[in-house]
Every structure is written in C-alpha cells, then in structure tokens.
Structure 1
Amino acid sequence: MTDLAPHTRPDTDSRYHYALMRRAIDLIDAQADSPQSLDDLARQMNLSPAHFQRVFSAWAGVSPKRFRQYLTLGHAKVLLSERFTLLDTALSTGLSGTGRLHDLFLRWEAMSPGEYARGGAGLTIRHGWFDGPFGEMLVMATDRGICGLAFSSETGRDGAYADMSSRWPAATFVEDAAALAPQAQALTDLRGEAHLHLIGAPFQIKVWEALMRIPSGHVTTYGEIANAVGNPRAVRAVGTAVGRNPVSWLIPCHRALRKSGGLGGYHWGLPVKRAMLAWEGARLDATG
C-alpha cells in the first residue's frame, strides 16, 4: 500500500474545509467574466481575507487569484501543448508512476464479459453519499471494491443515482453509507488504498486502463487513447467509453481532451472537469 507524499495532501481532514473550497470555486467560476478581488471573495465566504487566502492556498496549492487562471479553457490548451502525454510512451518515460489519483494506490479487477452481459445479476451493490473534494459524491461498491463514483453538483442526487444504478439493472442495491465510510474517507483524504471492481464491456475496460496511465497534471486526446488500445480509428467509440467510466476521478477521464485543446464533454458536468484539471495543474506547478 502506498500513501500520498506530504506535500500533495490537503492540510486538513476537515469536511468543513472541503465544503468551503467548493463554495469558493463556484464563486470564482461564476465570476470568471468579472473577477472579484480577494477581499470581495472573502467577504462572500464570510471569512477574513487572510484566513481565506491561507485555507484556499493550502487546499489548491496556489492563491485564489492564481487558481482562477487554471479554471480557464486557455489553461486546458496549455496543458495539451505542454503536458500532452503519449500513452504508448508513458510507461517507458516513467510518467505513469504518478498517474493514479496523485499516488493513491489502486488495485482493480474487471468483471468477465459474461458477468457484464448479465447486467450485474447476483451482485449486491452498496451505496452512500459523502462529501468529497470536488463536491458531493455517490460511492457504490461490491464486496470486491468500488464499482461506482459519481458527482451530484450538476445532475442532482436523483440524476446521479439513476445514472449509476441503470448501468447494472439486475443488481441488488442497498443503501449502506456506514459500510462504505472507510473507503469514502480514503478518497476524500486522497490517501490510502482503493480497490476497484470495474464493471464494463471488454473495450471499455481497455479504455479505462489507458486512462489510468495519464499522470496527474497531464492530459491526452481521445485519438491517442484510441491508438493506445490498438484501434486508432475508434475515436468516437473511445469517447463513448470515456463517458461511461463508472468511477470518475479514480479513473481520470477528466484528463482526456479534444485534439483542438477543447475540454470536450464530461459526464458529471464541465464545471467539475474544469475544477479537477485546475486543481491538478495548480498543484503540479506549485510542487515543480
């Protein structure tokens, strides 16, 4: 089991600070066309400017003003031009070592094609709602590991749950947040170990495995993912598989961009994708 290096962890385990940062990001994102000063942002957060700056910088690794720059589409294009990673060379260059959720160690296994075809029949999937660093998250897990991770800030709880549960229509779903709390806490703290139980078609599994090779703070394109899975013409199918990723963020589908540098889509909303890319880019720059 590996753990996060100290310089990549948030400085607190408090859910209060995660909620605070989500509110701040929402404010910064909503005011992108008319940026607010640090004093204005702090006032809207009901905090002193000094305390707001300190807490925000500890979470993001940079100041609120700097973080605002990372939320722009232009930053995505910079990522693509400066941190574009060819997946077929990622392993040989050593980049993949930091690709798995900022050194969160993942163990994963996939369902067999037959199990997938049965729509989850015979599986019991537990689920619960938790606070996470990028908004409220729905965690789903079988006895073998986390099989679903969704964010509700754009879709709402009902939409997120309906989306995830429809993927395995024959499974039995049980609400049991207490049983999932240790796994959810590991995700929220960005440390520990996550066991994944990937439930998808064989082609989808190959695409998701390729996504896990993309290092934090770097991006790639749908076309390069298609090359990496040995089917260079299947760009559209890759896009579909990326969108069907059942454990967003753990399998970093947010790091896949269009060839033009555009963000493309994101299943749980573009604001969430932008926040994830900005957080990763900011922390990578801050740590050199």
Structure 2
Amino acid sequence: MTLTTENPHINYQRIEQAIRYLEDNVRRQPELEEVAEKVHLSPFHFQRIFTEWAGISPKRFLQYLTVDYLKDKLLQSRNLAEAAELAGLSSQSRVYDLFTTLEAVTPQEYKERGAGIRVEYGFHASPFGLCLIGVTERGICWLSFVASDEDPRHALEEMKAYWHNSVFHESQELTKAFVEQVFPESPLQKKLHLFVKGTNFQIRVWEALLRVPMGEVTTYQDIARSIQNPNALQAVGSAVGSNHIAYLIPCHRVIRKDGVLGQYRWSSARKKSIIGWEMARQETPNKH
C-alpha cells in the first residue's frame, strides 16, 4: 500500500501546534515571537505561513475562537433560521444553495454492510493535514483526517471496518481529483455528492448539518429542533459523532450552547483550525 504520493502539510502541523499553544495560554496572550519559537520557526516565517494558510494573522484568527465571539455567532445563526421561518421557509427548505448533496444506502445495502460496493481510496494533503478519502460510483463515502502521530493504516482500517463488505482499491489519481474539489483553490466549486451509510435518524441529522453555512456555528439543541425532535439531544450528539465524512458533513460546526467548542472526532485542535479557517475565508473572501 502506498500511503501517499504527496507530502502532508508540514505547515499545518505547525499551525495546529501554535493554535494549541495559544489556546493553552490564552489569558497570557503570548507574543508572536514566543509562539514561533514553540513551533521552531522564526517569527517572520511563522507569520507568513500562518497568514498564507488562514488569510489573516494568528492574533486575529484566535479572536474567532473566543467564547464571546462564538456566542454572538450562535445568536446570528439562530436569527437567520428564524428569519427563514418568518419568510415561510420550512427548516427542511434549501435556505442556502447547497454544494453538497447526500444519498443514503438502501435498507438492504445497510443490512449487507457495503457488499457489492467498490471503494476507491487515497491519502492526500489537505489544509488540515493528511486526509483519507473513499469514493464510490455513487459519491464520496469517506473522508477522515490523520493525526500527525498516527499510522495512516489505522485510518484505512477504520474505513474498511465501516464499509465492511466492500471491495477496496487504492487509486491516488482518481481520488486526488475529488480532494481538489473538496478543498478548491478558489471559492468556485462543483457540487459534490455524498454516499452515506447510517440509520434514518443519523441521516436526518447529517442532512441538517449540510444546511449550516460555512463560517457559521450551531448547537446540538438547534439541530434537534431543526429535525422536529427537540428532546433528542443525546441521540443528536451520537449522530454528529458518528459522521464518517469529515468537513463535507460539517459536524465541526456544532458547538456547545455556552460557546465552548467541545470535542471533535478528529481532535479538538483540528476543530478549532477548521472553524477559524472557515470564518476567515467567509469574512475576508477577497484574500482567497
């Protein structure tokens, strides 16, 4: 098995280390020189790679991740949803032009755990480190991130366990084209189709997540309300955590109602990275 034909983003690893350090020392607000030293870069080089990655400075980036800022974003998101309802749009309506559509396996396919399905897979660099993508003729069926200290084979085994009876074939060239669509160089992108395996309840939650726009955040409570099941908070949390297509089904946009970001299947630091990166791209689109 060839793990990757590309170098994973070493820069992202340093950015993630920096975000962890800034978060751990948020009360002290360390200067750029101190953070750069912690990630073994000169202040100039660190500022440059961070700004190239995020489009904004590290200091500005961290402001997106404060509890007060995220509380305000939650309020804005809720107001948008309420405005849509007042306009006569149901919560199931396409308030936003979705770039991602979703198809679920049939009940028989669910029972057979992927039998007869061929999955092409590959490891690729992404803005958030090394990722593993799986693709079928019916759409993207897997996307996960690999931790810098993790053996990529572990991610592959996790995908194979999920699509248990499928046939797997490594195809770097084919999957590279999909990754380039998932993380496009410019904001213009083709619509992406996802092929998911889950219970009816999980699929309803994942469909609700698709309606949370980039740069916005929501809560478990709001997701539960949006699927007309306001008391199912624990089940919603479980469905969010069971998402097997990272980033595209944006479970990272679900945070606690008190503005705390909370946990993430692919590490809390990566969740911070993605949320801040998305907010920066939405608020400074001319830089991307």
One-letter identity of the residue aligned with 2:171: D
- Runs (4+) of structure 1 exceeding 6 A deviation are none
The residue aligned with 1:4 is none
The residue aligned with 2:96 is 97
Between stretches 61-70 and 278-287, larger displacement belongs to: 278-287
The residue aligned with 2:176 is 181
**2:8–2:129: 8 Å Cα contact kept in structure 1?**
no
One-letter identity of the residue aligned with 1:217: G
One-letter identity of the residue aligned with 1:116: Y
The residue aligned with 2:156 is 161
1:222 equivalent in alignment to 2:217: no
Relative to structure 1, is the Cα distance of residues 46 and 219 closer, same or farther in structure 2, using a 3 angstrom cutoff? closer
1:285 equivalent in alignment to 2:283: yes
In the alignment, the residues of structure 2 paired with residue 88 and residue 142 of structure 1 have an alpha-carbon distance, to the nearest angstrom, of: 37
SS at match of 1:264: coil
One-letter identity of the residue aligned with 1:60: A
Deviations 1:113-150 (A, max 9, x none): 22112100111111111000111111011111111000
Of residues 246, 249, 256, the one that matches 2:254 is: 256
In the alignment, the residues of structure 2 paired with residue 179 and residue 136 of structure 1 have an alpha-carbon distance, to the nearest angstrom, of: 17
Deviations 1:14-65 (A, max 9, x none): x88954244223223224316543345556554561x643443243132122
The residue aligned with 1:136 is 130
**2:252–2:271: 8 Å Cα contact kept in structure 1?**
yes
In the alignment, the residues of structure 1 paired with residue 17 and residue 272 of structure 2 have an alpha-carbon distance, to the nearest angstrom, of: 11
What's the CA shift for 1:284?
A: 3.1
Between stretches 61-70 and 122-131, larger displacement belongs to: 61-70
Between stretches 80-89 and 145-154, larger displacement belongs to: 80-89
What's the CA shift for 1:89?
A: 5.8
SS at match of 1:97: coil
1:29 equivalent in alignment to 2:15: no
Relative to structure 1, is the Cα distance of residues 273 and 96 closer, same or farther in structure 2, using a 3 angstrom cutoff? farther
Relative to structure 1, is the Cα distance of residues 220 and 166 closer, same or farther in structure 2, using a 3 angstrom cutoff? same
Relative to structure 1, is the Cα distance of residues 165 and 61 closer, same or farther in structure 2, using a 3 angstrom cutoff? same
1:192 equivalent in alignment to 2:186: no
In the alignment, the residues of structure 2 paired with residue 230 and residue 247 of structure 1 have an alpha-carbon distance, to the nearest angstrom, of: 24
**1:84–1:219: 8 Å Cα contact kept in structure 2?**
no
In the alignment, the residues of structure 1 paired with residue 226 and residue 175 of structure 2 have an alpha-carbon distance, to the nearest angstrom, of: 34
The residue aligned with 2:3 is none
What's the CA shift for 1:285?
A: 3.5
Name the count of aligned residue pairs.
Answer: 268
Root mean square deviation of aligned Cα: 3.1
The residue aligned with 1:127 is 121
In the alignment, the residues of structure 2 paired with residue 95 and residue 65 of structure 1 have an alpha-carbon distance, to the nearest angstrom, of: 35
Relative to structure 1, is the Cα distance of residues 140 and 89 closer, same or farther in structure 2, using a 3 angstrom cutoff? farther
TM-score (norm 1): 0.80
SS at match of 2:183: helix
TM-score (norm 2): 0.80
Relative to structure 1, is the Cα distance of residues 280 and 58 closer, same or farther in structure 2, using a 3 angstrom cutoff? same
Relative to structure 1, is the Cα distance of residues 39 and 257 closer, same or farther in structure 2, using a 3 angstrom cutoff? closer
Can you give the 5+ residue segments of structure 1 that lack an aligned partner in the other structure? 1-14
SS at match of 1:107: strand
Relative to structure 1, is the Cα distance of residues 82 and 88 closer, same or farther in structure 2, using a 3 angstrom cutoff? closer
Can you give the 5+ residue segments of structure 2 that lack an aligned partner in the other structure? 1-5
Relative to structure 1, is the Cα distance of residues 76 and 155 closer, same or farther in structure 2, using a 3 angstrom cutoff? farther
In the alignment, the residues of structure 2 paired with residue 95 and residue 19 of structure 1 have an alpha-carbon distance, to the nearest angstrom, of: 38
What's the CA shift for 1:90?
A: 5.1
SS at match of 1:120: coil
**1:124–1:173: 8 Å Cα contact kept in structure 2?**
yes
Relative to structure 1, is the Cα distance of residues 122 and 158 closer, same or farther in structure 2, using a 3 angstrom cutoff? same
**1:131–1:188: 8 Å Cα contact kept in structure 2?**
no
